Amino acid sequence: MRDSAALLKKILGKYRLEVPVPEDIQQYAAAIKRTVLVDVYKSAGSYTVIMGIPLRIYFGVKKIGFSLSFVQSAFVAAFSSLAAVSLLSAVMYYTAVNIHKKVINDKYIGSVSEKKLSIDNSETGQAKIIRKIHSLPGADASIAQEDNKIAGIRKKSLSENIKSDIPALQKIIPINKYVGVTDFTVENLDRKISLSVTKQIRENLAAKYGNEKIIEINTGKMNNIDLMIAGSVGKLGNKIIISVKLVDMQTSRIIFVNDESADSEAELRDKCNIISGKIAKEIIGAQ
Amino acid sequence: MNKHNKFIDAYSNYFPIVLSSIYSKVGNKEDASDIAQEVFLRLFQKFDNVENVRRWLFTALKLVIKEFYRKKNMNEVDIDNFFNDISLTFVNGFRDTRIIISEAIESMDHFKDEKERILFDLIAVNNFSYSQAAVQLGMTRRQVVYKYNQIANSIIDYLRSRGIKDVEDLL
């Protein structure tokens, strides 16, 4: 098979029909092509800022072996800009939402400087207990909302924040302390479930600690309470989250926090046993 | 928008050969790019009235080069020497053969469109590599090689049809 290209090249060279251009000039031509066009448009007074991106797309696509017209390049630029703006808006939205959630969480889990408790038998009274435990200045949020937030940040910030407040986190309470247990609040679940969880934990502790030492707060007997157990039961996705706090009423400090998640209501009993055991350890030492 | 579309396409196709032609005359790449910019600026201003872009560009570039060197106070005779036809150096039969070859490579019969002609000019006349020609024209290297070989075969066949039975004898 003849090599026509090579033959023709030799013929053109012999008859001085070639005007060879050095390789560096060939590369220079490719490098300045877009710039010269922009200068032409600027000199003609026809250059606009919106031409910039389509021209970059137009010449960029040529370099990789494809060809778009200028109009097609402009469409690509328009759609790309729209996609970029949409993506940026979505990122900013989700960032703002997450920051807002974190601010709310920090507000509810913050300091623990409660000095005085007042108890009544109403649901509002229980909400006040929880709120004051967390030293909240405001009182609008419901317990359920609060506990969901606790569940959301329990893995890191909650345990670290709480532990940093307590000089001796694993302090053993003398057995002669009285422990109050409030009804756990509930979020997105039947209230019977939270009452059942409260009852089971209380009964488990009573079995270990003695009935006279475990006091149901909603019965009104608040005198001489040394420790307070409060908590919540909520649904997060497909899981049921039980959050429990043990508060030293003398110092108003949270000395123990625990969260357990159950895949179903059937698992709640086991989780209550686990929580009870952990709280008992906190109260009377290892069993 | 239609004018911009057509002008930018024309600019993209002809820029490398215009720049190459200017560079071959002036020998300086910065001057060559300045002159090329001026040539295409004038094309943009008159684009609506231009029928044959290629012919217009090669006429204009000669004028702009002359103006460029007049500004540099170059002698008129010296400027004209830039454009002296090299064919004058060939004599007798060689000149005739050269004319036949020139006609062959300038005939549009070998090219499907103007873009193929530009491709041939870049590679055959200006010695652009296949890769550089591909970048300039928005084609892949494989496409450039294929098209150029097609064109070369067509030209060789044309030369044979003009009585040059053994093309290798031209060498």
B47 pLDDT more than 80: yes
Report DSSP state, residue A71.
H
Contact at CB, B156 and A2, closer than 8 angstroms: yes
SS3 B36: helix
d(C-alpha B8, C-alpha A61), whole Å: 14
CB contact under 8 Å between B33 and A36, yes or no, is: yes
Minimal Cα distance from A40: which residue of B?
A: B41
Asked whether residue A127 carries a pLDDT value surpassing 90, the answer given is: no
pLDDT per residue over A210-251, tens digit each?
A: 788 888 886 555 667 888 999 999 998 889 999 999 998 888
- Residue B20: DSSP 8-state: H
> Is the CB of residue A36 less than 8 Å from the CB of residue B15?
yes
Q: Of A4-8, A162-166, A245-249, A265-269, where does mean pLDDT reach its minimum?
A: A162-166
Q: Cβ(B14)–Cβ(B58) under 8 Å?
A: no
> What part of B 83-112 touches A (C-beta under 8 Å)?
86, 89-90, 94, 97-98, 101-102, 105
Encoded tokens for B36: 């090329």
For A269, counting Cβ atoms within 10 Å of its Cβ (0-12 exposed, 13-18 middle, 19+ buried), the class is middle
pLDDT at residue A148 in the model: 60
Chain B residues within an 8 Å CB radius of A18: 124-127
Give the angle B3-B9-B11 at the CA atoms, nearest 5°.
Answer: 95
**H-type helices in chain A, by residue range?**
4-14, 23-44, 52-63, 70-109, 123-133, 143-153, 159-165, 191-209, 268-284
Q: How confident is the model at residue B103 (pLDDT cuts 50, 70, 90)?
A: confident
Single out the residue of A24, A223, A188 nearest to residue B20, CA to CA.
Answer: A24
Give the B window 46-65 contacts with A, CB below 8 Å.
none
| Residue B154: closest C-alpha in chain A | A4
Residues 23-82 of A with CB under 8 A from B: 23, 25-30, 32-33, 36-37, 39-41, 43-44, 46, 55, 58-59, 61-63, 65-67, 69-71
Instruction: Tell me whether 0.90 is exceeded by the ipTM.
Output: no
- Report chain B residues whose CB lies below 8 A from the CB of A40: 11, 37, 40-41, 44
